[in-house]
């Protein structure tokens, strides 16, 4: 572990892990020293959504991701039965290194857990999908305020849109979106900056009236928290890595295991190196 | 058909089709009016390598492409049994719309054909993979000479490198590369320009001595023709969409149907819109 996280056991603060490496964060999670959402941790590293499906669904899922790169930009797909993401996080264990998991069965969320050691099977395939936590940093460093980070829990506003994903095999459903209030004069910048980060969902999918993408009332979030707009701000919507969960629900996928909201997998990849 | 290709049947020249649409070229191919290599046709449109495999190999192939985006940037994957690439070329037929095909069985090329109507099965999946024909245009328009286009057949120099692909399931093998002689003072430009076109293989994989990537003698090409270097030129190597054929050979894939060398599928996609 790095100097930042120390050698003494015990809980850590978000500040302790802000400058940590991805491996540091994963070790802290595995040791039970970090159990909360991961925004702001290991700054500069790519964070990832998780979706584990049985091999029988892996082709449909990978094809779905290929056809829907904005909500589902693939960072890595593990070999069947192998819980180690060898490319983006050598030595990691996908069964223990996220601070929270959700289990979906037959299209319903049935359980939240701290690890999935006893659920992992030899026919499981883990998909790591890009996450907009990575984008927060990029926007912040350009001086574009991130309303959802003004509170410690960092909960962003998440909605199911009326934008359909392109279906693949048995999988279909809507694009899930995050909303950030952006000052009108920075919207163009936010677009230009984020389009260069395809692994963090890339450019916005919609700018302006929420009703145009099937969201009747912004105050009614589906996940996260409503972060109100202030004078002169425009709602800007990006595709969100929660989309696989919406697909599990819409398509009644027999089994999918995901991260819990905001409790992401932290990779070793440098965000700057994924810039296109 | 556009005015360029006329309404009278008969063979066409490369000039006739230079400004044609993707649909025009595909119609000319299907009607037997174009049977040669496709470089320089439908300029501005994305061209594609083809690899058809049985569904039993589709997951391995798609995962292989995900892990090897430089040699195998995926443009589209058709639904199983559907010969129409509905996204990049609505109305097209993958069985007839390329001017040449190759059939590989058990890792050996067994046949070249003009169409594959009688070979197509309900368990076939077609993968369209980005092609460096698209890159030729981008480099040319930046004033970077393309030696292989100085002859009408447009045959580029193609080699098997010692760079390994990341394996996926049963698939493994080397990265196949194209070589372009580039004036030393334009190498940096060529790099910066092509990295913005991931669907045309993106940035070079190697610049300089061929021996460093396992090519002992540039004059001995594996596909295409040796295009000699002139004074002040540097060999620059890009990943090549022939890689799936090398994989079929290396991994002994039971069945793979590909395009014939240089005889690509011409899509409707605008190259400029794929710029990252």
Contact yes or no for B177/B237 (Cβ under 8 A): yes
**Tokens 């001595």 belong to residue:** B209
Q: What is the pLDDT of residue A5?
A: 56
pTM, rounded to two decimals: 0.94
pLDDT bracket for residue B6 (50, 70, 90): low
Residues B124 and B257 in one domain: yes
Residue B191: inside a domain, yes or no?
A: yes
pLDDT bracket for residue B135 (50, 70, 90): confident
Q: How many domains does chain B have?
A: 2
Q: Do B63 and A67 touch (CB under 8 A)?
A: no
Residues B235 and B155 in one domain: yes
pLDDT bracket for residue B3 (50, 70, 90): very low
Angle at CA A89, nearest 5°, toward A88 and A91?
Answer: 145
Residue A185: inside a domain, yes or no?
A: yes
Q: What is the pLDDT of residue A3?
A: 46
Residue A200: inside a domain, yes or no?
A: yes
Residues B170 and B207 in one domain: yes
Distance to chain B for A59, nearest Cα, Å: 5
Q: What is the pLDDT of residue B11?
A: 81
Per-residue pLDDT, averaged over B242-259, amounts to 96
Per-residue pLDDT, averaged over B14-43, amounts to 96
Residue B10: inside a domain, yes or no?
A: no
* Each residue's pLDDT tens digit, B170-188: 999 999 999 999 999 999 9
* Each residue's pLDDT tens digit, B80-118: 999 999 999 999 999 999 999 999 999 999 999 999 999
Q: Is the pLDDT assigned to residue B62 strictly greater than 90?
A: yes
- The CB density around residue A216, as the number of other CB atoms within 10 Å, is 7
Please compute Rg for chain B using Cα positions.
18
Q: Is the pLDDT assigned to residue B78 strictly greater than 90?
A: yes
Residues B139 and B226 in one domain: yes
Residue B75: inside a domain, yes or no?
A: yes
Q: Is A13 on the interface with B (CB under 8 A)?
A: no
Contact yes or no for B46/B269 (Cβ under 8 A): yes
Q: What does the DSSP assignment read for A176-221?
A: EEEEEEEEGGGHHHHHHHHTT-GGGT-S-SEES-GGGGT-S-TTS-
Residues B99 and B170 in one domain: no
Closest residue, chain A, to B77 (C-alpha): A63
Residue A14 in 3-state DSSP? helix
Q: Is A86 on the interface with B (CB under 8 A)?
A: no
Residues B122 and B254 in one domain: yes
Q: What is the pLDDT of residue A8?
A: 64
Q: What does the DSSP assignment read for B58-105?
A: HHHHHHHHHH-TTT--EEEEPPTT----TTTSTT--TTTSSS-EEEEE
Residues B68 and B168 in one domain: no
Per-residue pLDDT, averaged over B197-216, amounts to 96
Q: What is the CATH number of the domain that holds B170?
A: 3.30.2040.10
Residue B89: inside a domain, yes or no?
A: yes
Residue A224: inside a domain, yes or no?
A: yes
Q: Do A67 and B87 touch (CB under 8 A)?
A: yes
Could you list the residue range(s) of the whole structural domain that residue A235 is in? 133-244
DSSP-derived secondary structure letter, B56: H
- pLDDT means per 10 residues, chain A with 276 residues, are 58 93 97 94 96 98 98 98 98 98 97 97 98 89 91 91 98 97 97 94 96 97 94 97 95 97 96 90
Distance to chain A for B276, nearest Cα, Å: 6
Residue A8: inside a domain, yes or no?
A: no
């Amino acid at each position: 572990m790095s100097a930042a996280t120390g050698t003494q056991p015990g809980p850590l603060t978000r500040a302790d892990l802000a400058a940590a490496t991805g491996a540091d964060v994963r070790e802290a999670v595995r040791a039970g020293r970090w159990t909360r959402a991961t925004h702001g941790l290991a700054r500069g590293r790519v964070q990832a959504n998780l979706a584990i499906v049985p091999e029988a669904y892996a082709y449909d899922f990978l094809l779905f991701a290929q056809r829907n790169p904005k909500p589902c930009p693939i960072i890595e797909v593990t070999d069947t039965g192998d819980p180690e993401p060898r490319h983006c996080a050598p030595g990691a264990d996908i069964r223990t290194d996220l601070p929270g998991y959700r289990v979906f069965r037959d299209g319903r969320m049935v359980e939240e857990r701290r690890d999935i050691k006893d659920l992992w099977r030899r026919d499981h395939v883990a998909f790591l999908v890009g996450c907009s936590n990575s984008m927060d940093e990029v926007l912040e460093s350009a001086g574009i305020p991130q309303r959802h980070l003004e509170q410690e829990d960092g909960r962003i506003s998440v909605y199911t849109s009326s934008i359909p994903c392109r279906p693949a095999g048995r999988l279909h459903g809507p694009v899930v979106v995050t909303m950030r209030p952006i000052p009108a004069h920075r919207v163009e910048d936010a677009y230009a900056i984020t389009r260069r980060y395809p692994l963090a969902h890339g450019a916005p999918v919609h700018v302006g009236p929420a009703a145009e993408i099937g969201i009747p009332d912004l105050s009614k979030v589906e996940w996260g928290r409503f972060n109100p707009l202030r004078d002169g701000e425009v709602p800007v919507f990006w595709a969100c890595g929660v989309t696989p969960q919406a697909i599990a629900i819409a398509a009644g996928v027999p089994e999918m295991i995901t991260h819990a909201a905001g409790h992401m997998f932290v990779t070793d990849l440098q965000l700057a190196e994924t810039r296109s």
